[in-house]
Structure 1
Amino acid sequence: MMNVPEFAKGSGLMTIQRMAVCDDDPTMVAAICQILKRHPATARARVITANSGEELLEEPGLEALEVVLLDMEMKTLNGIETGRRLKALNPELLLIFITGHCDYALQAYEIEGFQYLLKPVTNERLGLVMDQVVRRLEERGAFRAGQQRIVLQTKEQLVQVPYEEVLFIEKKLRKLTVHTLTEPYECYGTLKKFQENLDSHWFIQCHQGFLVNRFRIRRLTSEGLHVEGHGAIVPVSRRHRPAVKAALEEQLFE
């Protein structure tokens, strides 16, 4: 499973896309959601709210959650058991336990709880925890980005280029030029075949002869795509413009 968007070097502040808040006190849930709306990393997150563990576990799409704030002491199904079931769906989920004391520390540790949030929950405390969440997600994303590479056979050598260093790929007749942060690499092949071997979450087609790294796009104008680290403007065809615009909106505002 891949959550979106992944962190990419130079893409700016990471934003959390999908999270949940679960507490048997509706007032507490509402207060936390208001604080989340003011934090830059969570302001546009899709937040599932629930007042019991049972209610939360009935929600669709739980495997896509990145962060869950869970009240420890809920009736029937407490936070520990709810968290354990959520972790079974997504082992990488970051669980933040809300509690009035630390008596459950050992149990939370056993299911890899990420952090505690002591009541009363304040803007400052929750903000600090969200900052920690962002750093953890960035570390994960940077590691994954470093693992994903494009392998190129140029005329002189076999080259491995990390995804995060690729700006865009350009087709010229029978040759492809992979523009990177450091230098361009040329190889033979078709753009279609090349694209089949790439992660579509990272690279989108913007023109018949161009693929672009979506995390390197700085802005879309009537001229085309302005790409970080390169002076050229990458063209966007009328056919591909709606898809490019939708991808950017998803990345920036989802």
Structure 2
Amino acid sequence: MTLRVLIVDDEELARLRLRSLVHECEEPGAQVVGEAANAVQALSWLAQERCDLVLLDVQMPGADGLRLASELRRHEQPPAVVFVTAHPEHAVSAFDLEAVDYLTKPVRRERLQAALHRAHDRLRARGAAADAEPVLVVNDRGRVTRVPVSEVLYLKAELKYVTLRTARHTYVLDESLSELEERLGERFLRVHRNALVARRAVRALERRAVPGDEEAGREGWAVRIEGTDEWLAVSRRQVAAVREALTAEGV
């Protein structure tokens, strides 16, 4: 794997030195595919191109490197980040942003080589994790079943248990909805205090009477679930977030 590297630094001489050092590093293979003098240029470049690693200065005009790194974490497949700076006092903030490494100027080739190795290892581990299909383990009537997360339509808290619904089956889990929400991450959307819905499974948001709503008998917001005739209540405080998420998803 040859690392595609973007250099972001407002000093042209600093970018030139980094380009030269990257060229001198033999393993893992790395190639500078782009340069930017500030965060705006970097984001513009990334909107059109792809890189595996960003060598990023901290102090730059406009948005600094820490803000840019924070923005990059929101990308679906964020590049690894190595900070390259003359200001070591920012190291703690950098690692809070899950930076691979923090190099101080003037950068030595040996240190850059080590940072490239770390970036290569992290990206390889991320790829292996992405290839593994995440599952929820369900104890169903004494039989242990592995349910792929990609098949889950929603999870709903009912009494002491959580109901897991797929297109074909309904299971009961012992875990709390909060624990499941933390594990499942952004693929699921909290629509109510008692329900998480897979983003891909939401097909409509409407005002209607929803059986089982805490305001039974009154009209409220609800989402329709893909592949079923079911509607789940949406709490008033979650309507704006649900609508925003649906717009972002293009539903």
TM-score bucket (shorter structure): 0.3 to 0.5
TM-score by length of 1: 0.46
Q: Which has the higher strand share?
A: 2
- The structure whose Rg is larger is 2
TM-score (norm 2): 0.47
Give the number of the structure with larger relative contact order, counting CA–CA contacts within 8 Å between residues 6 or more apart.
1
